[in-house]
């Protein structure tokens, strides 16, 4: 039998397979997620008529004589190149841009596909259209440490998107605040001596001094102000006695009493400068920057009497102690004092005219202005107006947010900040529209370091008796520092010399809601959209990677299975470990190139024709051979 006949037969068979591969590619030109195949030919074994001979001294080498036995299909490779992405508008469709395969299951069998034409079945499972294979992903769970974020589960689960299901109401547990309080504003009330961070360092007479300004006392004129030195080698102090007010400058008139290492001290009430002497050397200290008083003049009497008005802040409750300093001690002491209750919103609470210093002491009465933001001081309960002390509104900043009880009822929570000292602010929280609900722990102090960041704890627990509305009582953690959300202090409330920008940026409560829609993000996160305005991450789509994706076995229905040569599936989430990203409402189309396939169709056809001609030619030769005996 002629070898050429068998070679022609192998060629016809091989090109028939080539036509089959090309035909399958062309047939699947519009199949979503289809990956085209490419055929490679290899020649068959050779029959050796004579072997090769190496060169000798007498003659040169001779090549082997070999006759080929035809052709065979060497490989049919699947080309896993990226197909074009086509937008479909269906929220269940997904396309992978980059590497990776969707993970689907048929019972206990894991399969893999690039075809993201998914649908929801009657049980709200996300399944592969046409096969019902269930799409796999990772469930998303709220982070117990950071309530603003969700963590991805570690086990693959069926993706179930229950559109129309209800979400139960969630009571607010955490409320976060961020941005900035303006350090440039003055204290919002005249707060006397700015005691916070007041320290005066200087060298005098060969010694280093560090003077601290003590807050005024309340028992007699000598308690107005004292400067004490902590210098180990030259301890000393300067007592400053309140003796009146310079009506022109509004500064206190102070008499000085040096002691210890200070041999002399004088105060100039026209400039606010204190001169201290130690070791024969003078040091001038400007005290004006430590004064924060308002001068009040009683012109209803003759001669007129001047007072310095200031407030002290009661740390625990947020009340204000009004003090009126004057040069003539009274029986109740110097200064006159009045404790003023504060409303939750920071306005004064003084229902009736009340005598400052107690009954029968000063003759001066205080009463709240109509808007609650100031106090009027009169000579007598119904006497002539002496002065009005108003809060400095630019030094107060506030913001609002909605919080929720266990029944999902919303309440407006307002929080304000009042500057009470250098680097020190009082915060207050209240419900402006729900006076029937009492709050506990609704005020406190925030202190800032010299670099504008919070010092000490930056959280507070606010207790609300929502049981008055039929819900459970609640405790809301107010976070000013960002620590609850694992943020840097710069992400919380800061104090820098720029305009107020502080705002409420997060709270974790919400009312009952119904899922009305969902969407898929680039990282494969499927987010449920509820009609209460809450968007909740539900799942993250799983993607599988293979060491040799060309080694996957085609199983039909546009799915693949692992093979011995594909490597084990490395399953993770989109945009992790080298996996691509997800395009929602889109599918990846076939990667078949018709131009290339038609070219291969032509070459395969011609190859088939040529090998068929080889068979007919060999047949004619055999026929001539048979005819030799005639």
Q: Decide which of 234, 263, 292 is a domain's last residue.
A: 292
pLDDT digits (tens, 9 = 90+) for 470-487: 999 999 999 998 887 777
Note whether 415 and 462 are same-domain residues: yes
- 253 in Cβ contact with 225 (< 8 Å): no
Residue 292: its pLDDT value, please? Answer: 83
Q: Decide which of 241, 275, 292 is a domain's last residue.
A: 292
Q: What is the domain extent for residue 331? A: 294-391
Dihedral sign, CA of 590, 594, 599, 605?
positive
Q: For the residues 162-184, what does the mean pLDDT come to?
A: 91
Q: For the residues 402-426, what does the mean pLDDT come to?
A: 93
Note whether 547 and 580 are same-domain residues: yes
Residue 197: its pLDDT value, please? Answer: 57
Reduced to 3 states (helix: H, G, I; strand: E, B; else coil), residue 279 is coil
Report residue 401's pLDDT band, with 50, 70 and 90 as the boundaries: very high
pLDDT digits (tens, 9 = 90+) for 113-165: 999 999 999 999 999 999 999 999 999 998 877 767 889 998 999 999 999 99
Q: For residue 272, what are its two tokens?
A: 């606010």
Note whether 200 and 148 are same-domain residues: no
Note whether 66 and 107 are same-domain residues: no
Residue 219 reports pLDDT greater than 60 = no
Q: Decide which of 507, 539, 568 is a domain's last residue.
A: 507
- 574 in Cβ contact with 598 (< 8 Å): no
Residue 264: its pLDDT value, please? Answer: 92
Note whether 200 and 259 are same-domain residues: yes
Q: What is the rounded CA–CA span in Å between residue 304 and residue 211?
A: 36
- 466 in Cβ contact with 472 (< 8 Å): yes
- 424 in Cβ contact with 190 (< 8 Å): no
Note whether 206 and 133 are same-domain residues: no
The DSSP letter of residue 125 is B
Helix (H) or strand (E) holding 6: helix 3-27
Q: For residue 588, what are its two tokens?
A: 């990846």
Task: Give the up-direction half-sphere exposure of residue 11: CA atoms within 13 A in the CB hemisphere.
Answer: 22
Q: Give the DSSP letter string of 220-265.
A: SGGGSEEEEE--TTS-EEEEEEEEEE-TTT-PEEEEEEEEET--EE
Q: For residue 232, what are its two tokens?
A: 């180990």
Note whether 47 and 133 are same-domain residues: no
pLDDT digits (tens, 9 = 90+) for 272-303: 999 998 878 888 988 887 788 888 888 888 88
Helix (H) or strand (E) holding 21: helix 3-27
Note whether 495 and 577 are same-domain residues: no
How many percent of the chain have pLDDT more than 70?
95
Residue 556 reports pLDDT greater than 70 = yes
> Cα 41 vs. chain centroid, distance in angstroms?
57
Note whether 558 and 595 are same-domain residues: no
* 107 or 195, which is more confident: 107
pLDDT digits (tens, 9 = 90+) for 179-201: 899 999 989 999 887 765 567 78
Residue 624 reports pLDDT greater than 90 = no
Residue 215: its pLDDT value, please? Answer: 61
Task: Give the up-direction half-sphere exposure of residue 163: CA atoms within 13 A in the CB hemisphere.
Answer: 14
Residue with tokens 């269930």: 134
The total number of structural domains in the chain stands at 5
- 170 in Cβ contact with 510 (< 8 Å): yes
Note whether 150 and 101 are same-domain residues: yes
Cross-strand pairs, 313: 320
Note whether 304 and 372 are same-domain residues: yes
Note whether 584 and 595 are same-domain residues: no
Residue 218: its pLDDT value, please? Answer: 47
Residue 217: its pLDDT value, please? Answer: 52
């Amino acid at each position: 039998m002629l070898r050429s006949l068998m070679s022609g037969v192998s060629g016809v068979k091989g090109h028939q397979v080539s036509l089959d591969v090309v035909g399958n590619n062309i047939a699947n030109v519009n199949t979503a997620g289809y990956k085209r195949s490419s055929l490679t030919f290899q020649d068959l074994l050779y029959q050796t008529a004579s072997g090769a001979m190496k060169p000798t001294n007498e003659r040169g080498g001779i090549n082997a004589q070999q006759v080929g036995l035809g052709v065979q299909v060497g490989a049919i490779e699947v080309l896993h190149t990226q197909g074009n992405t086509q937008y479909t508008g269906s929220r269940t469709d997904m396309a992978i841009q980059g590497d990776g395969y969707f993970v689907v299951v048929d019972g206990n069998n894991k399969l893999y596909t690039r075809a993201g034409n998914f649908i929801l079945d009657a049980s709200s499972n996300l399944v592969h259209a046409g096969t019902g294979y269930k799409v796999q992903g990772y469930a998303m769970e709220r982070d117990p440490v950071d309530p603003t974020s969700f963590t991805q589960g570690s086990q693959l689960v069926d993706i179930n998107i229950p559109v129309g299901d209800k979400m139960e109401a969630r009571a607010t547990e955490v409320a976060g605040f961020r941005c900035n309080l303006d350090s440039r504003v003055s204290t919002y009330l005249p707060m006397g001596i700015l005691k916070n961070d007041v320290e005066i360092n200087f060298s005098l007479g060969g010694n280093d001094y560090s003077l601290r300004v003590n807050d005024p006392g309340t028992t007699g004129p000598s308690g107005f102000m004292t400067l004490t030195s902590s210098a180990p080698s030259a301890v000393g102090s300067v007592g400053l006695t309140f003796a009146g007010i310079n009506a022109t400058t509004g500064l206190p008139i102070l008499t000085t009493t040096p002691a210890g290492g200070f041999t002399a001290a004088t105060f100039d009430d026209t400039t606010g400068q204190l001169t201290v002497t130690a070791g024969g050397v003078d040091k001038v200290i400007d005290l004006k920057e430590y004064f924060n008083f308002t001068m009040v003049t009683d012109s209803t009497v003759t001669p007129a009497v001047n007072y310095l008005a200031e407030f002290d802040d009661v740390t625990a409750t947020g009340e204000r102690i009004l003090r009126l300093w004057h040069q003539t001690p009274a029986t109740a002491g110097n200064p006159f004092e009045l404790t003023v209750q504060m409303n939750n919103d920071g306005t004064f609470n003084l229902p009736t005219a009340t005598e400052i210093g107690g009954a029968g002491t000063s003759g001066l009465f205080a009463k709240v202005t109509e808007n609650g933001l100031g106090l009027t001081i009169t000579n007598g309960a119904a006497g002539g107006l002496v002065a009005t002390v108003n809060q400095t509104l630019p030094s107060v900043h506030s913001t609002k947010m909605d919080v929720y009880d266990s029944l999902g009822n919303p309440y407006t929570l307002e929080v304000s900040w009042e500057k009470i000292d250098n680097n020190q602010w009082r915060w207050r929280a209240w419900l402006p529209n729900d006076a029937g609900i009492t709050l506990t722990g609704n005020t406190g102090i925030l202190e800032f370091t010299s670099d504008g960041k919070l010092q000490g704890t930056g959280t507070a627990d606010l207790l609300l008796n929502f049981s008055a509305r039929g819900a459970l009582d609640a405790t809301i953690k107010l976070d000013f520092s960002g620590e609850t959300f694992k943020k840097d202090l710069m992400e919380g409330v800061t104090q820098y010399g720029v305009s107020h920008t502080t705002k409420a940026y997060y709270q974790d409560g919400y009312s009952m809601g119904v899922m009305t829609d969902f969407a898929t993000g680039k990282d494969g996160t499927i987010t449920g959209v509820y009609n209460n305005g809450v968007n909740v991450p539900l799942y993250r789509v799983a993607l599988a990677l293979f060491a040799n994706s060309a080694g996957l076995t085609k199983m039909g229905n546009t799915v693949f299975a692992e093979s011995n040569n594909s490597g084990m599936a490395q399953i993770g989430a989109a945009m992790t470990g080298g996996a691509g990203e997800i395009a929602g409402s889109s599918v990846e189309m076939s990667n078949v190139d018709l131009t290339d396939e038609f070219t291969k169709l032509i070459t395969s056809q011609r190859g088939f024709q040529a090998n068929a001609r080889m068979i007919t030619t060999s047949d004619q030769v055999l026929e001539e051979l048979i005819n030799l005996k005639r």
